[in-house]
Every structure is written in C-alpha cells, then in structure tokens.
Structure 1
Amino acid sequence: MIKRAKDKRSCEDVNPNNGLGGTEESSAGSVFLDGEIAHLTKLRSGPHEHLSRAIKRQKLKLPLSPVTMLAARESNLSGRGRFSTSDNCHIVSRFLPTYGPMKVDNFRSRAYVSQFSVDGSLFVAGFQRSQIRIYNVEKDWKVQKDIVARSLRWTITDTCLSPDQRFLVYSSMSPLVHIVNIQSAGTESLANITEIHDGMNFSVDDDEDEEFAIFSVKFSIDGQELVASSADNCIYVYDLKANKLSLRIQAHSSDVNTVCFADESGHLIYSGSDDSLCKVWDRRCLGSRSQAAGVLTGHLEGVTFIDSRGDGRYLISNGKDQTTKLWDIRRMASNASHHRRQESDWDYRWMEYPAYARNWKHPNDLSLATYRGHSVLCTLIRCYFSPVFSTAQRYIYTGSSDSSVYIYDLVSGDQVAKLNYHDAPVRDCSWHPIYPMLVSSSWDGAIVRWEFPGDGQIHLPAKPRRNWRRNLY
C-alpha cells in the first residue's frame, strides 16, 4: 500500500533539500526545480560518472559537444571503452525535433488523437468524423489500417494500442469502447462490415447511456485490462479476459477527463477531473468506500490530461488554469483541498482565460513545479514526458490551443522550443520513443512530423487560416 504523505504545505514552502523536490519562482538561470527528480534527470541525461570525473580533471564544461564525447570515448577517458545509456542521452537529448514540418496526412476533419506505438513502428491518428488511421512508420508512413469507427457519438475521444500491437481500442462520447484487430490482412476496416469491432459496455445503468461519455481509455502494461474515465464522475476497469467490468470507482465530483496506470504493476491509477483535482488510487486497498490513496491539489481549474513518468511516483498534468504541473505522489494529501476560481460563467471551450488569473496560485499547491506559456482552451489538450531512451525524460511537451507545440526543460523550466505550423488547436502530439521525431495533430485536420537533424526546410506551404471556431462543437 502507498504511504500517504502528511505534508500539506504549498510548494513555495517546501525545503528543496527534502529529497522530494520543490520549485522557486525566479529569473532565468536560477534554480527552478531541485530535489530527487531533478537529480535523477540530470544523472540520466548527463555523461557517465566515470567520464564526468575525467571531464572535471580536464576542466571541461557541460554540456559536452558530440565531438568531445566521441573523442573521450575513443581515448577511453571513462575507462569503459563505450558510451553508457546516460552518455547517449547526453548527446541525443539536445537534438530536438524542431525541423519541418513534413506532411503525414491531412483530413477535412479535426484530429483528436495521435500516438506512436511503444516501439515506434506504428502511429495512430483519430479524427472527429469516425476515421482512425494506423501508419507504418518504418514503411514510409504507409497506411496499414484505415478504420471507420462503429457507433460513434460526436468524436473519437481516445485510442490506445495493446502492448503487443495486435489490437486497438477506441472510445467516443458513448458508453461503448470498441476493439479491433489491426493485424488482420485487409487495410480497410469498416466497422462490422469488412471487420468485426467488438463493443464493450462501460455503463452500469442503461438509463444514463445518452449522457454517458468515455474521455480516456488505456491498456494495462500486460494487456489484460482497460482503465477508462467517464462523464459520470467515475473510473472503470474492464477485465478483457473475463469480458466484463471488474471495478467502478466513484472517483470525483465532476467529469473525469483523464486516467492512466501509474506503472507496470497495474496497482496504482492516476485520475484527473473537472473538479480541479488529481487523485491516486491503490487498487489493493480501495475497500467498500473506494477511498483515494491521496489527492494532489494545485490546479485552479479542471485537469485535462495526466501522463505518468512510469515509475509509480511522478506524473504531470495539464490544467484549464493554463499550466502543466509536475507531481510527486509522496507529497499527496489525504483529503481534497478545494480552491477554485469562483467564476461560474467562464467556459474554457469558447472563452479566453482571464489575464489577471494567469499567475494565481492555489494556497495548498502540492505540485513540485509549474510550467507556463502554452494555452489549454477549446478542448482537452494533452501533455507528456519526453522519451526515456533518447532524452531520459528531460523534457515536458504539450499541445496548445494557440496552434503550437511547446517543449519545456523539466529541471530549468525553460521553454526550449515552440513548433508553429497549424492554424487551429493542437490537441495531441507524440514524440517517437527512439528517434528525435515528433508528430503533431490539430483541429485543422493536419498530421505533420518534426525531426532532427533534417535539412531545416519547411516542407509544407503556408496555409490560409480557416475560421475553425465556426464549428466549435
């Protein structure tokens, strides 16, 4: 079971040497994030300790250029005769995917979802008008599966590939989540005509079906379960082997917009809601009351997305208060501390966020760090940690309603890149797990990729700006 943290102080009061981390609002160049996660990030994205000692002896400054790193390897300064994983990250993590964009696809329909598979060989894009496409990245982005969704209600809200990359699940504003075999022979997958799309009902009350919506659905690491979040304030776990719901948690006081497993164990679940709270659930000790293991307070508006670092400790969340926040669940509270802006007439779907509120802080903010610059309006904008293999999760990146993708340095808090091409909100984006490549998808219907090194050329012509707000719903 999780040991609940007792510290409820705001992040400004946290001692940065307490091992958990803390933030300091300061000018560029000052310490932004300190503590365990900052140390781990620096360690995993810096030269190996043997090489670091050699560097100190030679009084070289970090970061080292690739040429210096290669010279050090050839002269065996580290005594290892090869690059370590951290050496590789020290080089590769500076090659940001900022050149482009290069066209992947373009639809006359809003793109809501776009994600690489775990190994990066496949890429999934989901659009509002029933279309889901799976591209084979290693075969020049050829369409491997062209799926027309079944029983779609309003839009594709989420998709997820199974860990073995054999199946895809997709959800919409409906209680049904569908699963389709993407390894079947045919390219075209028209629901229940050319292929069967099995439906799984997440509703426990047929009378609520018209108002029921699934906003987020994810496979467990072993591929045996699905976890989903819904508009009825609940979290659901579906047992695929038994083909039935195995768990329903009355989780929040408003729509649950996002949910995910914390790590490969499957015991911990993170959720985020329009009630402005992130919660941690330990399935081993839920009991009959379905009590959360802990609550993370700090957002002043609803939470649109959560991404786990995969270690069962750290996560990030996007909020409608126009921030991304970094959390450590060892600092969670046992009870919710509600503190929201009291403006009932503000609606993020069509209104700008009040300028005077952009720097407001929650009096009981438990987050480790807050990242600002992007905008979270119009739709449930998503944010992520950068890949482990190539960057040691050194960055945080997010879509934005101002039509861009933002990349922040996790430790310094600096905005290190802003990718501009789209002319409508970028709801989702995905960084390739191995290569310095990022794909962004937007409500303008465009799916484009950004790479490094590339040739520095813009491969797509400038597009005339469309009035995407005309059809906001």
Structure 2
Amino acid sequence: MSSFRKNVDACNDGNAPKGYCANQDYSEGSDYLVHDIAQHTNLRSGPHELLSRGVLGKRKLPVSPVKMLVGREGNCTGRGRFSSADGCHVLSRYLPVNGPRWVDRLQSRAYVSQFSADGSLFVAGFQKSHIRIYDVDKGWKVQKNILAKSLRWTITDTSLSPDQRFLVYSSLSPVVHIVNVRSAASESIANITEIHDGLDFSVDGYNDDDYDALGIFSVKFSTDGKELVAASSDNSIYVYDLESKRPSLRIPAHRSDVNTVCFADETGHLLFSGSDDHLCKVWDRRCFGTRGKAAGVLIGHLEGITFIDSRGDGRYFISNGKDQTTKLWDIRKMSSKTPYTRRPRDSDFDYRWMDYPTHARALKHPHDQSLATYRGHNVLRTLIRCYFSPAYR
C-alpha cells in the first residue's frame, strides 16, 4: 500500500461487480513508487518568462500562482492562457511531489481508504476483513486493527463518526456494523475481543430474496453523528437513525445501483447521490411531498458514477465516473426537469476487464452542467473514490 499525500489507494481483483480503487500492483521493497502525477509535478517546468517578468519585473523561481494568475488576466504573454509549462508550474505548488512511499502492506488488497475530517487519522479497509486506522501525526502508526464481521466479498465502505469515536463498515449486505475505535484494545476482532453491533438497513416489506440481494455500497455519518446515509444495490438511498436503531427513510432514488451518497452539509437536510444511471442527484429531505422526487439533477457523466464527495458547504461536490473523468459541480446549476435518458452505448465497455475506448475519451455530454472536468486517470478493472483534501492539511 502506498501513500500519495499520505493517502492509501484502494484496489480489488477485478472479478467482482463493484470496486473502488486508484492504485496499481507495485513490487515489494520499493522505497519510492512510480506515479503518473508525481512524475508530472516533478517536471522542472517554469512559468513563461514574459509572464513572470510582467508580474514580478524580474525572473525569479518559483513564481507565486496568484501573481501568475494576475499576469494571465493581464494577458502578459499575449496568449490569454497558460502554456503547458505554466500549468505544470502552478500544479507543482499545490500537488505533492515527494513520494509516494510505502506505509503498510497486507496479504489482501486495500479496497477503501479515507482521511478523518481533520486529517489526523487515516482509515483503510482491505478485501479480507481487515480495517486499519493509522495515526498520521505519529508516523502512520496503527492505532486500531479491526477484523470485520460477516463480510460478503469485501468491505465496501467505512466512515468515522465526527468525534472519531465510532467507525461503521459496510459490505454487500443489508447489515452495516459499528465498532468503538476509542476503546483501550488495539485489536478489535468482531464479537470476540469487542462487539461489532449490526445495524439492519432493510425496511418492512422485504422478502427473503430481496433481503439477500440488498448490498450497501457507500455509508456516511451525518455531521452531528446521529444518522447514517447509505447507497444500495436496490437503486435506493437509506437514512438510518442511530438513536432509534432503525431506518428512518428510504428513497427510491435512481434507475440503477446507487454507488455513492453523502450529506451535503452540517444541516443534514441535503443529500448528494450518484448512480450507474450516470446521473448525480440532489435530495432535500424537507421537501418530500412527492416520494422519490429529487430536488434537482445534474448531468454530464457519460458512464456510471463511482463516488461523490461534498465540500461540506451544501453547494459544491465532486464526482468520479467510469467515463474516466472527475467533475466539479455547483448545485445552483441543477435542473428539476432533466429527463432520464440513457446515452446510447456505442460499445460494451466493462471497466472490470476492458480498456476504455480511445475515441470515447474525447466525448462530451451535449448538456454537461459541471463546472470543470478533470482527466488523466484511468478507471479500469477498478473504480475510484475521489475526495476533497482535509481542510487543514
């Protein structure tokens, strides 16, 4: 497992229906790993000479990105835009250039990973039941080693409570488990050394066949720590009340698997979701006069959406898709009347075993509502989870 801005990537073996990943299989013993972005940002590229002189009056490296932006606005180079070298120089000020390096390695592959909200802890879930919590400020020491209970294939997601006292983990099952990570024991083996309580997300009306088929792909704590929101394989979103210990809301949200869902802000009223139907949706829990009616829809992805992360301000979020793009969204651009229209598929692309068609990389949705689109990574054989960085890291 490697660290890129102290981050552990997640990977699966490519044979399962779902996966969230951003790594490659590197050989053991390497102190530093080859990484496309690290290579890119290590390029010794400086800003355009006219741009730096026009702003600073003399040639000096590194040039402040703010001053470079001022120079671009003033069109110092006469081109009205950054060159590739200018862009490289700006990126190098904000993206990590040291590493990545090995942090830990287990016999099963890392599948999910995430920083705590303050960036002090890092959680990694592995395919064969292990979850490890690392203390970033103490040299990535393992603070808690958890052996999960009753998994179906893999841990699909983990989430720390806002006070960092509890952790929930999900699997391809309707039951999500919760464990106290502040207990004295450094080893937490489910229901042997510690109790991992089960939280059943199924609701009344499920028969045995429906229950067995229900799987949770994504689960997140609310900001106040009183609720969980989950994305499921039955095309629905669930909200679970931790005080009453039962689901409080089920939303038939999409026309395909809901891969990801999260709270938009600290109020808990707004939810963002993404699905294999390639749509991002915004839900307002205060306005459910019509059950299942989204507050708005945002279109732009050409393939299924693998993950969504909110900036936490109730306005901006990012998403990653099987169309090999990450997109930035502003919900003020959403539409309440966007019809569901599946894009005609000109290929039978399956991320689990196929390369993405070369010609499809240049395609753009004719009604793309995103603010920005980022390319350069590959969603192949695995899926990718995208996050905003912790605010103070």
Could you tell me the TM-score, scaled by structure 1's length?
0.62
Question: CA contact under 8 A between 1:301 and 1:341: conserved in structure 2?
Answer: no
Runs of 4 or more consecutive aligned structure 1 residues displaced over 6 Å after TM superposition: 56-64
How far apart, in 1, do the equivalents of 2:127 and 2:138 lie?
26
How far apart, in 1, do the equivalents of 2:197 and 2:235 lie?
25
Structure 2 unaligned blocks of 5 or more: 1-53, 68-89
SS at match of 1:210: helix
Of Structure 1 and Structure 2, the greater strand share is in 1
SS at match of 2:137: helix
Distance 1:245 1:368, change over 3 A: same
Cα deviation per residue 1:429-468 (whole Å; 9 max; x = unaligned)? xxxxx2xxxxxxxxxxxxxxxxxxxxxxxxxxxxxxxxxx
2:162 paired with 1:163: yes
2:391 paired with 1:388: yes
Cα deviation per residue 1:392-431 (whole Å; 9 max; x = unaligned)? xxxxxxxxxxxxxxxxxxxxxxxxxxxxxxxxxxxxxxxx
Deviation at residue 61 of structure 1 after TM alignment: 9.6
Paired position in structure 2 for 1:188: 187
For residue 189 of structure 1, what is the amino acid of its counterpart?
Answer: S
Equivalent residue for 1:271, pick from 266, 270, 273: 273
Paired position in structure 1 for 2:349: 346
How far apart, in 2, do the equivalents of 1:288 and 1:194 lie?
46
Equivalent residue for 1:371, pick from 369, 374, 379: 374
Q: Percent identity?
A: 70
Question: CA contact under 8 A between 1:337 and 1:364: conserved in structure 2?
Answer: no
Deviation at residue 291 of structure 1 after TM alignment: 0.5
RMSD: 2.5
Question: CA contact under 8 A between 1:262 and 1:269: conserved in structure 2?
Answer: yes
Paired position in structure 2 for 1:141: 140
Question: CA contact under 8 A between 1:297 and 1:338: conserved in structure 2?
Answer: no
Paired position in structure 2 for 1:307: 309
| 1:36-435 equivalences in 2 (<5 Å) | 94=93, 96-204=95-203, 205-207=206-208, 208-334=210-336, 335-343=338-346, 345-389=348-392, 434=393
SS at match of 2:156: strand
Question: CA contact under 8 A between 1:174 and 1:214: conserved in structure 2?
Answer: yes
Structure 1 unaligned blocks of 5 or more: 1-55, 70-90, 390-433, 435-473
How far apart, in 2, do the equivalents of 1:307 and 1:134 lie?
20
Deviation at residue 342 of structure 1 after TM alignment: 1.8
Question: CA contact under 8 A between 1:238 and 1:247: conserved in structure 2?
Answer: yes
Deviation at residue 379 of structure 1 after TM alignment: 2.5
Deviation at residue 368 of structure 1 after TM alignment: 1.6
Paired position in structure 1 for 2:29: none
For residue 271 of structure 1, what is the amino acid of its counterpart?
Answer: S
How far apart, in 1, do the equivalents of 2:264 and 2:319 lie?
13
Distance 1:198 1:94, change over 3 A: same
How far apart, in 1, do the equivalents of 2:60 and 2:258 lie?
43
Deviation at residue 327 of structure 1 after TM alignment: 1.2
How far apart, in 2, do the equivalents of 1:161 and 1:147 lie?
13
Question: CA contact under 8 A between 1:269 and 1:281: conserved in structure 2?
Answer: yes
How far apart, in 1, do the equivalents of 2:95 and 2:305 lie?
27
Deviation at residue 385 of structure 1 after TM alignment: 2.6
Question: CA contact under 8 A between 2:318 and 2:327: conserved in structure 1?
Answer: yes
How far apart, in 2, do the equivalents of 1:360 and 1:314 lie?
24
Cα deviation per residue 1:283-322 (whole Å; 9 max; x = unaligned)? 0101242210000111111000111122111111111111
Question: CA contact under 8 A between 2:303 and 2:323: conserved in structure 1?
Answer: yes
Deviation at residue 337 of structure 1 after TM alignment: 4.3
Distance 1:388 1:140, change over 3 A: closer
Cα deviation per residue 1:2-53 (whole Å; 9 max; x = unaligned)? xxxxxxxxxxxxxxxxxxxxxxxxxxxxxxxxxxxxxxxxxxxxxxxxxxxx
How far apart, in 1, do the equivalents of 2:311 and 2:279 lie?
18
SS at match of 1:356: helix
How far apart, in 1, do the equivalents of 2:63 and 2:56 lie?
15
Paired position in structure 1 for 2:31: none
How far apart, in 1, do the equivalents of 2:93 and 2:382 lie?
31
How far apart, in 2, do the equivalents of 1:121 and 1:322 lie?
30
Distance 1:138 1:326, change over 3 A: closer
Deviation at residue 242 of structure 1 after TM alignment: 1.2
Deviation at residue 57 of structure 1 after TM alignment: 11
Question: CA contact under 8 A between 1:339 and 1:362: conserved in structure 2?
Answer: no
Question: CA contact under 8 A between 1:155 and 1:172: conserved in structure 2?
Answer: yes
Question: CA contact under 8 A between 2:157 and 2:171: conserved in structure 1?
Answer: yes
Question: CA contact under 8 A between 2:115 and 2:390: conserved in structure 1?
Answer: no
How far apart, in 2, do the equivalents of 1:364 and 1:287 lie?
28
For residue 133 of structure 2, what is the amino acid of its counterpart?
Answer: I
Distance 1:96 1:244, change over 3 A: same
Question: CA contact under 8 A between 2:304 and 2:323: conserved in structure 1?
Answer: yes
How far apart, in 1, do the equivalents of 2:360 and 2:189 lie?
47
SS at match of 1:94: helix
Question: CA contact under 8 A between 1:153 and 1:172: conserved in structure 2?
Answer: yes
Deviation at residue 65 of structure 1 after TM alignment: 5.6
Question: CA contact under 8 A between 1:297 and 1:336: conserved in structure 2?
Answer: no
How far apart, in 2, do the equivalents of 1:61 and 1:285 lie?
57
For residue 275 of structure 1, what is the amino acid of its counterpart?
Answer: D
How far apart, in 2, do the equivalents of 1:275 and 1:163 lie?
31
How far apart, in 2, do the equivalents of 1:342 and 1:383 lie?
25
